[in-house]
Chain A
């Protein structure tokens, strides 16, 4: 199942009762962000929101889509699954499709975003209903666009072409601020461009089908193509088109494609911005993009993402790519790992279910999670549970913690490790202690506690689960 573009995905959500159209007039602030926040507060099965009468824009012309992947049913529909698919089943489906990497690419010349081209008098605020997300954000941001760049030392390398999502402050009609951290692929591209004394060309694609957005948030290896990963995850060739000025490959189906360049050597104040930690990031001096060309469909839909205190849409879009990445890395060394749920604040807290080979084994797996690449910035709290505990079922995880975890024997604290600087508890920023909480059942030679008389399921429970599931449909 593959969606050609955002509009096709929204139509599917609509058919499945997962799209709410709101056609009464609203103000850009605070209505749009508040509506997205409210939807996330109310339910984890909520709809996408589509607004088409925004104060200051002609009704029907200025349109905003929010929360498109902001629930488990919408996430399942992104993967082409039944909307009632459990999180655990979505996890294993995602992990299985990852194995199909690299998937095929389909190149096309005729993209819908070629309809209108602007090279003079560019004003993003006229084209898109940009709005402030959180009260003390420094301005309007774009935070769900695919940013495409290439390695200036190897510009023809398709694999090294990067598709990533970065927070982008709209600083002026045709001027943007961007946060390309040194550890990100685009940060490496910028470093090489600045070493050469050159600007770094970028293409920014807004309003995409959901798979490329999900993949753009995956920490892939430097020379792995996000488009080939999107093809693997959607199970069909990924359709791309060359942007005319940069020559970079952008999604065929985008609503808007912006081309411009990061100005070499320039840093300008950016932020604060309400972040996924539930706290504002401070202000920093960051790179600046000058826009040269905008191409778009007529009456483009501005797809935006609300983020702030979890849970928000961002937590859904990053949940499984973070969890599956850790799962694959741990499983390669420890096949006993059954599943990984690292969807809490992008994996600052994670839960690993594992079959213990011998006493102390689970603790070793927990510490290993902290030393895989993603763990260097995350994995501050790791909870281990037995292989028959579902890490996606927090009731089961809390049960394991409450009866298997012994504070004296099952706590491993490791001092002064690295963590992302945005973690507001880190002190100094970027340094923290980390902890393993082992809630697995002790096994030999570690024999302690009283675990021999477990209350299992009554005989036939599994059959009855299917009977009742069928009756509830």
Chain B
């Protein structure tokens, strides 16, 4: 159960090169968690390739970073009281 994942640079979901280490296992060397600061997808190095590899991540769950700002806000931010 060693850390063998190669992809730690490209987000599997949005393909942004905006990935950093989120945290590592309390018992050292078991796994590393990464997070994409563009789409906030996170994954663990021990997960199957479909969760960690941009090429194996299923197309229907992919997201284009350009679309993120236009995603609806729920709930919307109300106007300030005067």
Contacts and interface: CB of A to CB of B under 8 A. Distances in A.
A29 B46 contact: yes
Interface residues of B, number: 36
Nearest to B69: A285
Interface string A133-169: 0011011100000000000000000000000000001
A197 B30 contact: no
Interface in A277-314: 280, 283-287
A132 interface: yes
A270 interface: yes
A13 B81 CA distance: 51
Contacts of B40: 138-139, 169, 171, 177, 268-270
B75 A191 contact: yes
B81 A196 contact: yes
A135 B50 contact: yes
Interface in A257-275: 265, 267-270, 272
A265 to B, nearest CB: 5
B9 interface: no
Nearest to B13: A138
B74 A286 contact: yes
Contacts of B74: 179, 181-182, 284-286
A164 to B, nearest CB: 14
A62 B26 contact: yes
B21 to A, nearest CB: 11
Nearest to A284: B74
Nearest to A282: B71
B6 interface: no
A177 B71 CA distance: 15
A147 to B, nearest CB: 15
Interface in A232-254: none
B27 A195 contact: no
A61 B30 CA distance: 15
Contacts of A180: 75
A173 interface: yes
A171 B25 CA distance: 17
Interface string B23-45: 10111001101010001111110
B47 A123 contact: no
Q: Which of B30, B71, B80, B81 has the most CB of A within 10 A?
A: B71
B11 to A, nearest CB: 11
B35 A139 contact: yes
A123 B26 CA distance: 10
Interface in A181-215: 181-182, 187, 190-191, 194-197
B30 to A, nearest CB: 4
Contacts of A173: 22-23
Contacts of B63: 283
Most central of B25, B50, B61, B75 by chain A CB within 10 Å: B75
A57 B25 contact: yes
Nearest to B46: A27
Nearest to A177: B40
Contact of B26 (A27, A57, A197): A57
Contacts of A449: none
B61 A136 contact: yes
A125 interface: yes
A267 B73 contact: yes
B66 interface: no
Contacts of A219: none
A190 B75 CA distance: 9
Contacts of B48: 29-30
Interface of A: 25, 27-30, 55-58, 61-62, 123, 125-126, 132, 135-136, 138-140, 169, 171-173, 177, 179-182, 187, 190-191, 194-197, 265, 267-270, 272, 280, 283-287
Closest 10 pairs (CB-CB, A-B): A56-B25, A139-B42, A56-B30, A267-B73, A285-B73, A182-B75, A125-B23, A136-B61, A284-B74, A195-B81
28 contacts: A25-B1, A27-B46, A28-B31, A28-B46, A29-B46, A29-B51, A55-B25, A55-B30, A56-B30, A58-B26, A123-B23, A125-B22, A126-B23, A135-B51, A138-B41, A169-B40, A172-B22, A181-B74, A190-B75, A195-B79, A196-B80, A196-B81, A265-B77, A267-B73, A272-B61, A283-B63, A284-B72, A285-B72
